[in-house]
Structure 1
Amino acid sequence: MATSLKIDGGLKSRVQQLANIRRRSAHWIMLEAIQQYVDREEARDWLNNWGTDDETTVPECHK
């Protein structure tokens, strides 16, 4: 699935600088950031429902 992402020049520059320092591609840096964000949000949703009638199963560990 191809997805396009528009980011401002300042953020683009910061991502590229970080990619250079980490010896990774800017693409890798952005994918890692998105994955961490999604994992964190899924865990937060689960915690907010923990112990309620709407409680769901524990989110899958992706690591």
Structure 2
Amino acid sequence: MSDLTSLALELDRETQRRLDRLAEVRQLSPRAMMNEAIVQYLEREEKSEVSRQKSLDAWNEYQATGLHLTGDEVIAWLETWGDENELPAPECHK
């Protein structure tokens, strides 16, 4: 039993022409190219959604607790990275 499913997709003529031309150059079927494009799009968007959710979670935590670091504190810490006197990460504060 196959794990594939079928999906109808309507493309304008110019997009179809571009797809066909590139598929020919790459020696792939248009179907294979569309499948790869969809997989790549989903992977990129899923990563973006995870990042967006982490940002919202961090914002909500800040709203609830008020804990934060200033930009200057973070920069001062980052400037010590790789040095023999590298500082530990600063503690969040109100």
User: Shorter chain as normaliser: what TM range?
Assistant: 0.7 to 0.9
What is the TM-score normalised by the length of structure 1? 0.78
Structure 1: where are the runs of 5+ without partners? 55-63
Equivalent-residue separation in structure 2 for 1:26 and 1:49 (angstroms): 34
Task: Provide the residue aligned with 1:22 in structure 2.
Answer: 26
Asked whether 1:35 is paired with 2:39, we answer: yes
Structure with bigger gyration radius: 2
Runs (4 or more) in structure 1 with deviation over 3 Å come to none
TM-score (norm 2): 0.53
**5+ residue gaps, structure 2:** 61-94
Counterpart of 1:12?
16
Secondary structure of the 1:50 match is helix
Give the Å deviation of 1:18: 0.4
- Please tell me the residue identity of whatever aligns with 1:40: R
How far does residue 9 in structure 1 lie from its aligned partner after superposition?
A: 0.6
Query: Which letter maps to 1:22?
Result: R
Q: Supply the distance in 2 between the matched residues of 1:21 and 1:2 (Cα, whole angstroms).
A: 25
What is the alpha-carbon root mean square deviation over aligned residues? 1.6
